[in-house]
């Protein structure tokens, strides 16, 4: 099996309705806000569903809905679930 | 920082925000706490005797997103953990988000305190197809685990029955070998230099290495000069770590929680989202969100502005007080008391009954009651956190994020209460700007009712001009404050709790608690204000004040000179002052009515809110705010006087 190439995209670019996996946090995110996101349950390789992108990014992670401003969602990197276009 | 420990044995309720701690606290104690369906309601530790054992004190702690503590809420909870003589912890967790619950358990377990885990909102988890194997989880943790639905009282008696079985949980993880070495070294130093009577040194070491300021403060006070040794250990651990040590430790706890939750949880496949989830999504929908908000505002206006401020006030003020109570009380006092000044003090023009109590009970009470009922329904439904999403862009203009909408909306009920609630905001800068704007341009429900009652009687244009003036001042002053107060805006990240059908009992309990707070605050101040007015009148000072204020009140604001008396009243409570202007409404032109209401609305809200500003921001900042607000109110009022006379209609 050849290693799978997965593009990392900013969470803010993912259309509503798609399920993705968290790939990492950008350095631009304030350390305290990063701790806050981890505490909300966002961790690498965890699945999350994008519910909407306007006026804010709203995601569903483990039955918890989180609203994130684009200034934050732009610096959260995600990978699309395998099998998706 | 004190190192004194409370001597009474206490059970602490701890957990994430919005998981039902306060409802459970009410079930276990019968005591009222301000309970809401939005995160961050409990801003202070609340304590009450347990129903099941009056010798035991139960503490409701503010919701913590995580430990080590960062926010004020988390620090308050950490202080309680450090300072209370804790008999056991009741961790209240969200059953549908076990992973997050267990991330906190992983840290609490290290403190070595007996614990019971209440997995609350079990009904919501079941509705989402989430099933937790509770016996397996209890076995893994080595503590009692119970499923509860605190709002319905389900599982609460079982929880009480299992409290004696509370045990220190088994450790959920061993950290990375290098971290374990640092933790052991620090724990050994803590046990030697600053041992805690109840909390395990290992748990304190993990919190200390994670950068908890409360733990650091406690250790510093306890270890004295030796704290430098602990600081050196922490610095060394930070330098040895490949990355941010607190984040690395937190990640390992998350992974442990992830592994344990995966082993005890089952998820049924669901084909479509629940109705409550769909409603929740429509409410923040880019297209439907704003029309829904306008609809909600219209309903609130109909209930508070029309039903409360018009129908109920009419019934109470005209029919009950002016028609029955006041004449009867006046006759009784006149017949029973032969001293004219006492009669005057009770039932005269500035009488304690005819002015103070009538204002408080007939004019204000119906308005605040309907407002708090409407607010209670909105917060119980889960709408308010979604309002933060809708309002976020607007609040960005004034250097805040949407979270500030919560104290602002609550301020429309009671500014004093709202000033306290600014603690849910994450940075001191956000708190300072919000408190300033609350004091300046957010009228409380009592004042709002008086304003709408008075200007509604003038014309719709008058109401519109006042509303636009308030929005303009709010945006302009917020814009300036955001640029003058140093610091940067924090982008909004917030949890959206599920939309729920409001429970009447909860709404009534909340309204009752808030009304009690409000009346305890408002009645003494209204009576004091009336007494001051009475004394000034009797001493002949009122005419002097009216004369002294004439250049400002009549010259600059264009109001009748008697309006000075209303501004004197406004120093005590601005709704009291507004009511004073309302009482002379028949002698005011439309321009005077609008200018009077704009000026009095921009005044400092009331003496109680001023005290709260001092409490939250310190005397210096609070006085600086007053020094800006009072001249600013007169400046804006005067500018509107000039503009309206020129553009709107002749006075």
* B514-539 mean pLDDT: 81
For chain A, the domains span: 8-80
Condensed to tens digits (0 to 9), the pLDDT of residues B297-344 reads 888 878 887 788 778 888 888 889 988 999 999 999 988 888 888 999
If asked whether residues B194 and B106 sit together in one domain, one would say no
Shortest CA distance to B215 belongs to which of B233, B236, B194? B194
If asked whether residues B598 and B502 sit together in one domain, one would say yes
B109 neighbors B172 (Cβ within 8 angstroms): yes
Interchain contact B125–A (C-beta under 8 A): yes
DSSP B96-110: GGHHHHHHHHHHHGG
Give the domain extent around B230.
177-267
Q: What confidence category does residue B78 fall into, taking pLDDT thresholds of 50, 70 and 90?
A: very high
Q: Look at B25-29, B447-451, B465-469 and tell me which has the smallest mean pLDDT.
A: B447-451
B9 forms beta bridges with B85
Nearest CA in chain A to B96: A63
Q: How many domains does chain B have?
A: 3
Domain assignment present for residue B281? The answer is: no
Q: Which of B130, B165, B200 is the last residue of a domain?
A: B165
- DSSP 3-state of B413: coil
- pLDDT at position B237 is 93
A10 forms beta bridges with A77
If asked whether residues B512 and B622 sit together in one domain, one would say yes
Choose the closest CB to B496 out of A37, A66, A69. Answer: A66
With contacts defined as CB-CB under 8 Å, which chain B residues touch A33?
490-491, 493
Condensed to tens digits (0 to 9), the pLDDT of residues B93-109 reads 998 889 889 999 999 99
Calculate the alpha carbon distances from A36 to B71, B250, B285, B520 in Å: 10, 11, 25, 38
* B393-416 mean pLDDT: 84
Provide the CATH number for the domain around residue B182: 1.10.287.1770
* B293-297 mean pLDDT: 88
Interchain contact B246–A (C-beta under 8 A): yes
- pLDDT at position B200 is 96
* Rounded CA separation B567/B576 (Å): 9
Phi, psi of B59 (to 5 degrees): -120, 125
**Does A56 contact B255 at a Cβ distance shorter than 8 Å?**
no
Shortest CA distance to B442 belongs to which of B607, B295, B604, B643? B604
Residues with Cβ within 8 Å of B78's Cβ and at least 6 positions away in sequence, in order, are: B67, B68, B69, B207, B212, B214, B215
- pLDDT at position B64 is 87
**Does B390 contact A55 at a Cβ distance shorter than 8 Å?**
yes
* B430-456 mean pLDDT: 86
- pLDDT at position A84 is 47
If asked whether residues B382 and B440 sit together in one domain, one would say yes
Q: What confidence category does residue B287 fall into, taking pLDDT thresholds of 50, 70 and 90?
A: confident
* B373-394 mean pLDDT: 88
Q: What confidence category does residue B37 fall into, taking pLDDT thresholds of 50, 70 and 90?
A: very low
pLDDT in tens, chain A (85 residues): 444 556 889 999 999 989 999 999 998 888 878 888 888 888 888 889 999 998 899 999 877 889 999 999 999 999 986 654 3
If asked whether residues B496 and B376 sit together in one domain, one would say yes
For residue B8, the tally of other CB atoms under 10 A from its CB is 12
* Rounded CA separation B394/B401 (Å): 8
Q: Which of B101, B136, B165 is the last residue of a domain?
A: B165
- pLDDT at position B1 is 41
Condensed to tens digits (0 to 9), the pLDDT of residues B4-27 reads 445 568 899 999 887 888 888 888
With contacts defined as CB-CB under 8 Å, which chain A residues touch B128?
63
Global confidence as pTM: 0.75
Nearest CA in chain B to A33: B493
With contacts defined as CB-CB under 8 Å, which chain A residues touch B97?
41, 62-64
* B588-608 mean pLDDT: 85
Q: What confidence category does residue B357 fall into, taking pLDDT thresholds of 50, 70 and 90?
A: confident
Domain assignment present for residue B280? The answer is: no
Q: How far is A42 from chain B (nearest CA, A)?
A: 9
- pLDDT at position B375 is 85
If asked whether residues B255 and B378 sit together in one domain, one would say no
**Does B70 contact A32 at a Cβ distance shorter than 8 Å?**
yes
Locus of tokens 């940075």: B427
Task: For chain B, give the percent of residues with pLDDT over 90.
Answer: 34
If asked whether residues B314 and B198 sit together in one domain, one would say no
Q: Look at B171-175, B425-429, B492-496 and tell me which has the smallest mean pLDDT.
A: B425-429
Q: Across all residues in chain B, what is the average pLDDT?
A: 86
Q: How far is A21 from chain B (nearest CA, A)?
A: 15
* Rounded CA separation B368/A76 (Å): 44
If asked whether residues B48 and B149 sit together in one domain, one would say yes
B366 neighbors B359 (Cβ within 8 angstroms): no
- pLDDT at position B272 is 65
Q: Which residues of A touch B (CB under 8 A)?
A: 30-41, 43, 46, 51-52, 54-56, 58, 62-69, 71-72
**Statement: residue B120 has pLDDT above 60:** yes
* B376-396 mean pLDDT: 88
* Rounded CA separation B460/B462 (Å): 5
- pLDDT at position B263 is 93
B556 neighbors B638 (Cβ within 8 angstroms): yes
If asked whether residues B200 and B228 sit together in one domain, one would say yes
Interchain contact B247–A (C-beta under 8 A): yes
Establish how many alpha carbons lie within 13 A of residue A57's alpha carbon, considering only the half-sphere containing its beta carbon: 24
If asked whether residues B159 and B194 sit together in one domain, one would say no
Choose the closest CB to B389 out of A30, A36, A56. Answer: A56
The C-alpha angle B522, B523, B529, rounded to 5 degrees, equals 90
Domain assignment present for residue B126? The answer is: yes
- pLDDT at position B587 is 80
With contacts defined as CB-CB under 8 Å, which chain A residues touch B100?
39-41, 62, 64
Domain assignment present for residue B170? The answer is: no
Interchain contact B393–A (C-beta under 8 A): yes
With contacts defined as CB-CB under 8 Å, which chain A residues touch B393?
55
B420 neighbors B43 (Cβ within 8 angstroms): yes
Locus of tokens 């959920």: B172
- pLDDT at position B583 is 74
CB pairs under 8 A between A and B: 106
Calculate the alpha carbon distances from B373 to B24, B209, B367, B411, B504 in Å: 22, 46, 10, 14, 10
If asked whether residues B133 and B223 sit together in one domain, one would say no
- pLDDT at position B546 is 77
- pLDDT at position A40 is 83
Q: How far is A3 from chain B (nearest CA, A)?
A: 25
Q: How far is A31 from chain B (nearest CA, A)?
A: 8
Nearest CA in chain B to A45: B255
* Rounded CA separation B513/B32 (Å): 7
* Rounded CA separation B425/B186 (Å): 33
- pLDDT at position B436 is 94
If asked whether residues B305 and B236 sit together in one domain, one would say no
With contacts defined as CB-CB under 8 Å, which chain A residues touch B258?
43, 46
Condensed to tens digits (0 to 9), the pLDDT of residues B341-355 reads 899 999 987 889 988
**Domain A8-80 part of CATH 3.40.309.10:** no
- pLDDT at position A1 is 42
In angstroms and rounded to an integer, the radius of gyration of the C-alpha atoms of chain B is 28
- pLDDT at position A5 is 59
């Amino acid at each position: 099996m050849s290693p799978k190439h997965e593009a990392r995209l900013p969470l803010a670019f993912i259309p509503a309705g798609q399920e993705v996996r968290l790939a990492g946090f950008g350095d631009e995110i304030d350390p305290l806000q990063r701790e806050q996101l981890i505490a909300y349950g966002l961790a690498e390789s965890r699945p999350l569903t994008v519910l909407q992108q306007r006026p804010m990014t709203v995601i569903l992670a483990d039955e918890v809905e989180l609203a994130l401003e684009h200034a934050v969602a732009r610096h959260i990197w995600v990978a699309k679930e395998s099998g998706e276009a | 920082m004190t190192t004194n420990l409370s001597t009474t044995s206490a059970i602490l309720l701890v957990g994430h925000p919005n998981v039902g701690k306060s409802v459970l606290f009410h079930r276990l104690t019968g005591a009222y706490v301000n309970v809401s369906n939005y995160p961050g309601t409990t801003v202070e530790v609340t304590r009450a005797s347990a129903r099941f054992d009056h010798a035991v004190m139960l503490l409701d702690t503010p919701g913590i997103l995580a430990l080590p503590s960062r926010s004020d809420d988390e620090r308050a909870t950490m202080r309680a953990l450090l300072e209370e003589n804790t008999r056991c912890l009741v961790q209240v967790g969200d059953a549908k988000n076990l992973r997050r619950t267990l991330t906190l358990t992983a840290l609490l377990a290290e403190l070595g305190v007996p614990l019971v885990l209440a997995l609350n909102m079990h009904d919501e988890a079941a509705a989402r197809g989430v099933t937790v194997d509770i016996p397996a989880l209890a076995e893994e943790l080595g503590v009692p685990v119970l499923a509860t639905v605190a709002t319905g009282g389900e599982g609460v008696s079982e929880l009480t029955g299992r409290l004696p079985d509370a045990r220190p949980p088994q450790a959920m993880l061993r950290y990375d070998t290098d971290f374990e070495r640092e933790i052991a070294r620090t724990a050994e130093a803590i046990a030697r230099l600053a041992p805690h009577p109840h909390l395990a040194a290992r748990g304190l070491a993990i919190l200390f290495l994670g950068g908890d300021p409360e733990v650091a403060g406690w250790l510093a006070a306890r270890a004295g000069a030796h704290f430098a040794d602990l600081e050196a250990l922490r610095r060394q651990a930070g330098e040895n770590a490949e990355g941010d040590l607190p984040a690395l430790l937190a990640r390992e706890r998350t992974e442990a929680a992830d592994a344990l939750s995966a082993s005890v949880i089952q998820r049924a496949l669901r084909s479509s989202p629940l109705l409550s989830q769909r409603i929740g999504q429509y409410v923040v929908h880019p297209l439907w969100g704003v029309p829904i908000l306008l609809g909600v505002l219209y309903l609130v206006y109909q209930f508070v502005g029309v039903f409360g401020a018009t129908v109920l006030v009419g019934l109470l003020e005209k029919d009950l007080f002016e028609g029955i109570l006041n004449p009867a009380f006046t006759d009784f006092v006149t017949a029973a008391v032969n001293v004219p000044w006492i009669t005057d003090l009770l039932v005269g023009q500035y009488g304690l009954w005819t002015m103070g109590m009538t204002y408080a009970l007939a004019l204000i009470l119906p308005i605040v009651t309907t407002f708090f009922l409407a607010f209670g329904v909105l917060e119980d439904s889960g709408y308010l956190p979604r309002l933060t999403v809708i309002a976020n862009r607007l609040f960005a203009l004034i250097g805040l994020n949407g979270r500030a909408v919560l104290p602002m909306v609550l301020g429309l009920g009671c500014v004093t209460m709202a000033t306290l609630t600014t603690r849910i905001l994450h940075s001191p800068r956000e708190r300072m700007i919000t408190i300033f704007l609350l004091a300046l341009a957010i009228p409380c429900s009592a004042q709002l009712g008086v304003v709408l009652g008075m200007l509604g009687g003038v014309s719709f244009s008058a109401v519109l001009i006042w509303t636009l003036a308030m929005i303009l001042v709010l945006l302009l002053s917020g814009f300036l404050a955001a640029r003058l107060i140093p610091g940067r805006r924090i982008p909004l990240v917030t949890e959206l709790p599920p939309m729920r059908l409001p429970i009447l009992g909860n709404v009534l309990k909340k309204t009752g608690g808030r009304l009690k707070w409000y009346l305890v605050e408002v009645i003494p101040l209204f009576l004091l204000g009336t007494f001051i007015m009475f004394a000034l009148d009797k001493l002949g000072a009122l005419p002097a004040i009216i004369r002294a204020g004439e250049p400002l009140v009549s010259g600059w604001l264009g109001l009748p000179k008697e309006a000075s008396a209303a501004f004197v009243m406004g120093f005590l409570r601005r709704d009291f002052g507004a009511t004073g202007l309302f009482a002379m409404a028949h002698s005011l032109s439309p321009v005077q009515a609008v200018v009077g209401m704009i000026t009095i609305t921009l005044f400092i809200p009331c003496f109680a809110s001023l005290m709260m500003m001092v409490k939250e921001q310190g005397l210096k900042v609070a006085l600086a705010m007053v020094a800006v607000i009072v001249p600013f109110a007169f400046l804006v009022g005067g500018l509107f006087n000039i503009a309206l006379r020129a553009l709107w209609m002749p006075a």
